[in-house]
Structure formats: C-alpha cells, structure tokens
C-alpha cells in the first residue's frame, strides 16, 4: 500500500507529527511511505524514515498556488499512491481543488491539524474558511480530527459526520537525554510555559494575573519567542525568558519544573500538554478548545476560565509541590493510556485499511 503524505510548510508541530507517524509506520511491511512537501520552510532529513521525499518549489502567495498544484499533481501521477494523506489547510487546497472537477485513483485522507474556522477571528472569516473546507471535503474520503472538540465543531459547521474520525496525536515514550544542568530554586514552585509568544497561546492573559499577584514562592520560565522576531521581554524577579531551546534539552526543562502552564485562547489539540504528561508533570490549562479533554481538573492538572481570573488566582495561591507531584503521577498514567505514539500509529494504520 503506497501512502503519499503531502504538506506545505512542514515544520513545528506538523513536522513532529509526521516524523512520529512515518517512523512508526516502518514496522508495517505492507506500507510504503512517500513524502511531498514545500522546499521552502520545511524540515529536511527525512530519508531514514520514508521511501522517497519530494520537494516542490513554493512560497506562500496567491500567485504561486497554481504552480504548487501543478507540481504536486505531477508527483501524484509519478508515485501513483493508493492513499493521499494531506496535512494542513494549504496542502489540502493544493491536492483537492482539481479533484472537484476530475476523477481520482487514490483515496484521500485530510487532516487540518487544527481548523482555521475555529481560530479567534471574525465570524465572517470563520464562515468563509468553513465554506471552503466543506467544498474541498467533497472529494475527500476521510477527515481526521485531532480532538473531539474539533470534530464536534466541524459537524456543527455542516461537515459530513460520516467522513469524520477522531484520532488523538501521540508522542513517543522516550525522554531525550541532556547534559543540561538547571539551577532552579527548588524551594519555589517553578512553572513552565512552552510555545510561541503570540495571541493564540495566551501568555499575556496569564501574565496579567500572575504579575499583579507578586507571588514570592512561584517562578515562571518561558520557552519560546515571537513569530515576528526573536526579541524577548526583559526578565523580572518572577519571570525568566529563555527563548527557543534545543529540542534535545526540552525534556530537561519539563523535568525541572513543577507544572506546565497552557493559557491558550484556542487549541485544536495541545501537544505541549502531552509532552508534559509524558514527563510526569501536571498542566494548568485554560478551558479553551481541546484542553479540557486532555486535562481533568484536580486529576492531572487544573482547568481555569480565561474570562474569569478568580479561579486562576485561587490555583496560584494554593498550589503546593506535594499535590503537584501526585497530579503528575496521574498525568503520566493518562499519557500511557491515551497518548503514546504506539496507540496513535495503530489507529492511523487501521484507518488506512478502510
């Protein structure tokens, strides 16, 4: 069975997803994996986990759309796959647009990795995004949603529920070894934020509450930078900005902290939460998107309402290390039951056999 994975800018979370999937699929002798991604802004060095990698020349702009479509369909004709597994919004357009008007040989599986119409934007834009996605779903055989929240919302927007399937992302149960030594004050509760410093991830919402409280027993460490530049805010007595860190060291930071904070305004899944749980750390998360599916209040973390800062204040005032350690152990068990790469890959493989 030939599977051609098609993406646009394959980096960040989508690249992590594809590396995990392609690596795991290698154990199935009846699967031949191929990868087709843009040459620009995509990670390289895929050859050890896939049969063949193709790159198309493309930079995101309206004028380049038809060139991308032409290049992609030339590769589709060359590979002649049984299944085309399409990743993210723009790749979904490039692959499926022409199949609205002509027949296709391969089955098409589409995965948005987070619906554009669920982002924090105007109702008008949401409706336009949803309309385009519904039209493109016509030549699509199956649509993978990365959470129940995403799936339920898509159905509310008029998508065919018979084409839908929910498969949670998974991460390998492997902790990267690091020689990094972190001299954090173990007498304090050390919180960790991992993500872009942009509106979606909601760090500003958390800081609005946290900075006013002036807690002398809590310290926040922030991994990430702005999407526009690499400049960082100045460190304070209670906040340290670390910028981006090497991927091989990320588990050292998870292990050093007492809890991970995720104050997102919207979140289709929440990979950081799963990485934290793998490292036996609880998560303090907003009640937005899929986060309440992953984090259960007082079981593997805490959930707070981003529109009411009273609950977050109470959490920060009352958290203690012993309770966080108990929640962290539960987080690890929940990860093992629901979010390992083995579970995720098994579910994808089962889907390929539909």
Q: Phi first, then psi: give them for residue 219, nearest 5 degrees.
A: -130, 140
CATH number, position 200: 3.40.50.2000
Q: 313 has which bridge partners?
A: none
Percent of the chain with pLDDT over 70: 99
Binned at pLDDT 50, 70 and 90, residue 41 comes out as confident
Residues 147 and 296 reside in one and the same domain: no
- Nearest residue to 77 via CA among 25, 15, 10, 2: 2
Whether 206 is covered by a domain: the verdict is yes
Q: Phi first, then psi: give them for residue 223, nearest 5 degrees.
A: -105, 125
pLDDT at 140: 97
Q: What is the mean pLDDT of residues 54-68?
A: 92
Q: Phi first, then psi: give them for residue 35, nearest 5 degrees.
A: -130, 135
pLDDT, tens digit (0-9, with 9 covering 90-100), for 143-198: 999 999 999 999 999 999 999 999 999 999 998 888 888 989 999 999 999 998 88
Q: Phi first, then psi: give them for residue 48, nearest 5 degrees.
A: -80, -10
Distance (Å, rounded) from C-alpha 152 to C-alpha 161?
9
Question: For the CA atoms of 226, 290, 252, 250, what is the dihedral angle to 10 degrees?
Answer: -40
Structural domain boundaries, residue 272: 189-338
Question: For the CA atoms of 280, 284, 287, 289, what is the dihedral angle to 10 degrees?
Answer: -50
Residues 106 and 222 reside in one and the same domain: no
pLDDT at 75: 96
Query: Domain count of the chain?
Result: 2
Residues 272 and 231 reside in one and the same domain: yes
Distance (Å, rounded) from C-alpha 167 to C-alpha 151?
10
pLDDT at 227: 63
First-to-last C-alpha distance (Å) of the chain: 12
pLDDT above 80 (res 229): no
**pTM summary value:** 0.89
Residues 15 and 132 reside in one and the same domain: yes
Distance (Å, rounded) from C-alpha 59 to C-alpha 38?
8
Q: What is the mean pLDDT of residues 271-296?
A: 96
pLDDT at 228: 63
Residues 223 and 323 reside in one and the same domain: yes
Binned at pLDDT 50, 70 and 90, residue 225 comes out as confident
Whether 175 is covered by a domain: the verdict is no
- Nearest residue to 197 via CA among 267, 236, 266, 244: 244
Q: What is the mean pLDDT of residues 103-126?
A: 92
Residues 52 and 112 reside in one and the same domain: yes
Residues 344 and 334 reside in one and the same domain: no
């Amino acid at each position: 069975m030939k599977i051609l994975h098609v993406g646009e800018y394959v980096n960040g979370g989508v690249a992590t997803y594809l590396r995990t999937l392609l690596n795991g699929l290698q154990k199935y002798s009846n699967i031949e994996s191929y990868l087709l991604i843009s040459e620009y802004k995509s990670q390289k060095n895929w050859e050890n986990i896939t049969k063949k990698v193709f790159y198309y020349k493309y930079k995101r702009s309206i004028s380049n759309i038809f060139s991308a479509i032409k290049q992609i369909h030339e590769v589709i004709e060359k590979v002649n796959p049984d299944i085309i597994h399409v990743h993210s919004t723009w790749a979904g357009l490039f692959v499926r647009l022409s199949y609205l008007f002509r027949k296709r040989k391969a089955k098409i599986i589409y995965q948005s990795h987070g619906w554009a119409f669920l982002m924090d934007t105007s109702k008008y834009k949401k409706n336009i995004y949803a309309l385009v996605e519904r039209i493109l779903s016509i030549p699509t055989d199956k649509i993978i949603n990365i959470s129940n929240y995403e799936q339920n919302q898509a159905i509310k927007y008029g998508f065919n529920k018979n084409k839908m399937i929910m498969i949670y992302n998974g991460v390998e149960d492997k902790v990267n070894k690091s020689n990094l030594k972190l001299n954090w004050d173990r007498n304090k509760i050390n919180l960790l934020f991992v993500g872009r410093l942009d509106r979606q991830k909601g760090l500003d919402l958390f800081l609005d509450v946290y900075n006013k409280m002036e807690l002398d027993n809590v310290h926040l460490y922030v991994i990430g930078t702005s999407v526009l530049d690499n400049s960082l805010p100045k460190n304070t007595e209670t906040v340290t900005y670390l910028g981006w860190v090497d991927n091989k060291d990320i588990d050292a930071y998870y292990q050093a902290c007492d809890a991970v904070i995720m104050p997102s305004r919207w979140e289709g899944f929440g990979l950081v939460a799963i990485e934290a749980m793998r490292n036996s750390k609880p998560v303090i998360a907003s009640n937005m998107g899929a986060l309440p599916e992953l984090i259960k209040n007082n079981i593997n973390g805490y959930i707070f309402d981003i529109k009411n800062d009273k609950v977050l204040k109470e959490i920060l005032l009352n958290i203690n290390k012993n309770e966080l350690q108990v929640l962290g152990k539960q987080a690890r068990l929940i990860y093992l039951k629901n979010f390992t790469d083995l579970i995720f890959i098994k579910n994808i493989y089962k889907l390929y056999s539909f």
